[in-house]
Chains A and B, each alone.
Chain A
Amino acid sequence: MNLQPKGRLLLAPENHLSAAHLAQGSRRSFLRGGVAAGASIASSAALAQASDVSSLIPPWTRSLGGPVVATGYGMPSKHEVNVQRRQSPGLTPQPQASVSFTPLQNLFGIITPSGVHFERHHSGMPEVDPQQHRLMIHGMVKRPLMLTMDDVMRFSSVSRIHFIECGANGGMEWANVAVPTVQYTHGMVACSEFTGVLLSTLLDEVGIDRTLAKFVLAEGSDGSALTRTIPMEFALNDVMVVYGQNGEMLRPENGYPLRLLVPGVQGVSSVKWLRRLEVGDKPWNTREEALHYIDLMPDGIHRQYSGVQEVKSVITMPSGGQKLVGQGYYEITGLAWSGRGKVRRVDVSVDGGRNWHTARLQEPVLTKALTRFRLDWNWNGAPALLQSRAIDDTGHVQPSIHQLRAVRGVRSIYHNNAVQTWSVQADGEVWNVQVA
């Protein structure tokens, strides 16, 4: 298949112009019309052109627009109403213990708008009053601390771009194809610029003995008072206590006013509505690390404390549930990430993994952040099987679904980082498939 772009072969649709308008716009077609039908037609065409001038200028050009501050906190255009977080029907019985998925098929670049960042609640979204909210740091520390939000926001801060991915992202597709679009296959990932205090700064402040203090328990202030154990090697590495996201405060559904961020580790560890950090010498074996977020292996053993989100990628355009508007040039684009560091390379196949082509990576390529890749493609109308395969800077190559199943079976639920296949049909429709 020829992958060299031949330029834009298909013009953008000009649906608002009639065929007659387009014909008038061309001197040659005007002359052809004149030759065929004579001078009387030419003069009536000129009249039509004069009376149609107003229809060529859109109403928003011929009227006064709205004032500033029409909305104090802006909203997307009403034409963007299709871009929404969505639940996957039948996945959970109650919306308070559920997940909504990021509409990756509609997003550009690497930053996820805060309003469509995926959500996962265990006992609903609490309405936390930031004036009353406190962060307690205690346990095996020299100086236990109780901090107000005012206190937390006075510490020296950092801003970093990281992804958050739920450990169950892709969990519906271990055994077979189950859902139609990238929103449902991969939409439990998002990437934001987070601002807050490094956990190491706070642990320095309370004072820990590294020979004894091996773990930190993080606890939320929601109805589930969700708890997760963070090993000290992660805690002192790059974990943050976060209040800012994409320039604003955290949204309520993403932990307002304070959350933990454990970069590269499954999202459940980035405890939302964070109220307490307890330093200890042993892991806690909490419900979310002994009953859920454990990976069932073929031999009946569960993997516990399986945190790291390994190297992964997916093509977002074209992707499942989309229809190509016609043959010609397309930019294949998608996202790659690794919980172990930076994305080194992404390869793309358009023939189901037979041959691969290295994609362009969009700068910046950041550690534990989404990375945008692109590849030029000239679609000749023949069926195609699109895949992407990421390699991270530890040398880990994203596995195929077969390579993954060979080790982990099909019942793991969590940590599915398999190569995704999208089938482009001759009619331009794209559907989710798995190849043998």
Chain B
Amino acid sequence: MFRSLSACATLCLALPSAVDAQQRTGYGLGRAPTTQEINAWDIDVRPDGHGVRKGAGTVAQGQKIYDEQCASCHGTFGESTSYMAVAGGVRKTDLQSGRASALKDATAIRTLGTKLNYATTLWDYIYRAMPWTNPQSLTVDQTYAVTAYVLHLNEIVGADFELNEKTLLAVQMPNRNGLTTAHGLSRVDGRPDAQGTLCMKDCVRDVTIASALPEFARNQSGNLAEQRRPLGPMRGIDTAKYGSKGGPAVAKTQMSAPAGVHPTELLARYACTACHGLTNKIVGPGFSEIAGRYQGQPAALGYLSTKIRDGGQGVWGSVPMPAQAAVKEADVNAIAQWLVNGAR
């Protein structure tokens, strides 16, 4: 008692400000967001209709946008598995049961159609994050249209369907009953479903190897000798003897001074290489093919810059190249110059 009193005698002069800070109702930091700010950022749409935006789009309108801006990655029929397969695997009976039966098969067909439970999630993601290289560029109506077309690719809605803020909430997805939260991993105090055993002695009689890395796969992650510090009680195994398959990408420049960005790094940064190989066609032509076609043409630099920026269709085939608004002007020019110089 006396000790705390004497402590107060020396400290009480300093105390009031500290007490004030704790007793205040709040920190008083920041400001209220404006209505415009909330409208610009609060774009989420929930299955119960929270956040749904007024608008409409048809399957036919959606097909046009999809073919121009989505098919290059997801495939003309939504079949590409390189990225999210947006269609396939849905069976007629699934629409009744609300369970995608393909997921019970040993080779589960995992697509947007077989997995997704609510169409609002599809609308929400297209509006916030697609097209991948140009997110938040679609209008509300365009988003309804593309969503409608993807639903149609999965044979969930007919060819003449119009999706709007009301029909979006009424769409019955084929796997709407296929997700559960009845498990321990969703709660702070959830119970585990797979429990180990605490045996210490003679726990198993025979130990056999059920699975091992085949020899051909031992170098597929790169030479392991180069992935382990050459110091201490272990070395990385020199796996070059198992073959010369390419190893994983590593930023080799990390330990040296930063160098100027090579155009090929820009191609990777802007995901140009998703559709164009350096020499070969993937979706669009290879870069060396482009360089070859325009070699020596005086107007090539300006032409290629425009093509990169605005996209195009018909020069190399029917699959259109979307406009690349995300690529900085200086980088557009650097890539175009590199193409003119022979793409080397």
- A: which residues have CB within 8 A of B? 75-76, 78-90, 93-97, 103, 105-106, 122-124, 136, 138, 143-148, 151, 154-155, 176-181, 183-184, 204-205, 217, 219, 223-227, 231, 233-234, 237, 275-276, 278, 280, 282, 284-287, 290-291, 294-296, 299-308, 310-311, 317-318, 320-325, 330-331, 347, 351-356, 385, 389, 391, 396-400, 403-404, 406-408, 411, 415, 417, 419, 423, 429-436
**Interchain CA distance A356-B37 in the complex, whole Å:** 59
Q: Is B314 an interface residue (CB 8 A)?
A: no
B226-239 to A contact mask, C-beta < 8 Å, 1/0:
11111111111101
A selection of 24 A-B contacts at a CB cut-off of 8 Å is A78-B255, A81-B254, A81-B255, A88-B221, A93-B83, A123-B129, A136-B41, A145-B31, A146-B30, A148-B30, A180-B220, A180-B224, A180-B239, A225-B136, A226-B129, A234-B188, A285-B118, A303-B183, A305-B185, A323-B237, A354-B207, A403-B195, A407-B193, A432-B213
Contact B42 A105 (CB under 8 A): no
Query: Do A151 and B129 contact each other (CB < 8 Å), given the known contacts A87-B248, A287-B121, A431-B213?
Result: no
Q: Of B128, B205, B236, which contacts A225 at CB under 8 A?
A: B128
CB-CB contacts of B275-318 with A at 8 A, as 1s and 0s? 00000000000000000000000000000000000000000000
Is B53 interfacial (CB 8 A cutoff)?
no
Cβ contact of A138, chosen from B33, B43, B99, B237, cutoff 8 A = B33
| A-B interface pairs (CB < 8 A), number | 338
Instruction: Evaluate whether A323 and B201 lie within 8 angstroms (CB atoms) in the complex, with A290-B118, A294-B179, A304-B181 already known.
Output: no
Q: Is the CB of A291 within 8 A of B194?
A: no
Give the chain A neighbours of B254 by CB distance below 8 A: 75, 81, 84
Task: Assess whether B192 is in contact with A396, with CB atoms less than 8 Å apart.
Answer: yes
A228–chain B nearest beta-carbon distance, Å: 11
B30 lies within 8 A of A82 (CB):
no
Give Cα A278 to B33, complex, Å. Answer: 13
Chain A residues within 8 Å of B183, by CB: 303, 306
Q: Is the CB of B229 within 8 A of A354?
A: no
Q: Does B246 contact A (CB under 8 A)?
A: yes
In chain B, what residue has the closest Cβ to A83? B229
With most chain A CB atoms within 10 A of its CB, the pick from B203, B205, B228 is B228
**Interface segment out of the listed B61-69, B108-116, B158-166:** B108-116
State whether B195 touches A397 (Cβ < 8 A).
Answer: yes
Residues on B with C-beta less than 8 A from A301 are 103, 178-180
Q: How far is the CA of A115 from the CA of B165 in the complex (A)?
A: 45
Given A86-B248, A217-B44, A429-B237, residue A399 in contact with residue B228 (CB < 8 A): no
Contact A144 B135 (CB under 8 A): no
B91 at the interface (CB under 8 A from A): no
In the complex, which of the residues A81, A226, A287, A317 has the most CB atoms of chain B within 10 Å of its own CB atom? A287
Question: Is B147 at the interface (CB under 8 A from chain A)?
Answer: no
Q: Are A408 and B193 in contact (CB under 8 A)?
A: yes
A33 and B99 alpha carbons, distance in the complex (Å): 86
Interface residues on B, range: 35 or more
Contact A82-B199, Cβ < 8 Å, known A154-B29, A234-B188, A354-B207: no
Closest to B81 in A: A93
Whether A325 contacts B235 by the Cβ 8 Å rule is: yes
Q: How far is the CA of A285 from the CA of B118 in the complex (A)?
A: 8
A256 to B327, CA, bound (A): 22
Q: B196, A435: Cβ atoms under 8 Å?
A: no
* Contact between chains at A291 and B221 (CB < 8 Å): no
Q: How far, in angstroms, from A303 to B274 measured CA to CA in the complex?
A: 31
Contact assessment for B178 and A146 in the assembled complex, using a CB-CB cutoff below 8 Å: no
Q: Which of B196, B233, B237 contacts A389 (CB 8 A)?
A: B196
B178 touches A300 (CB 8 A): yes
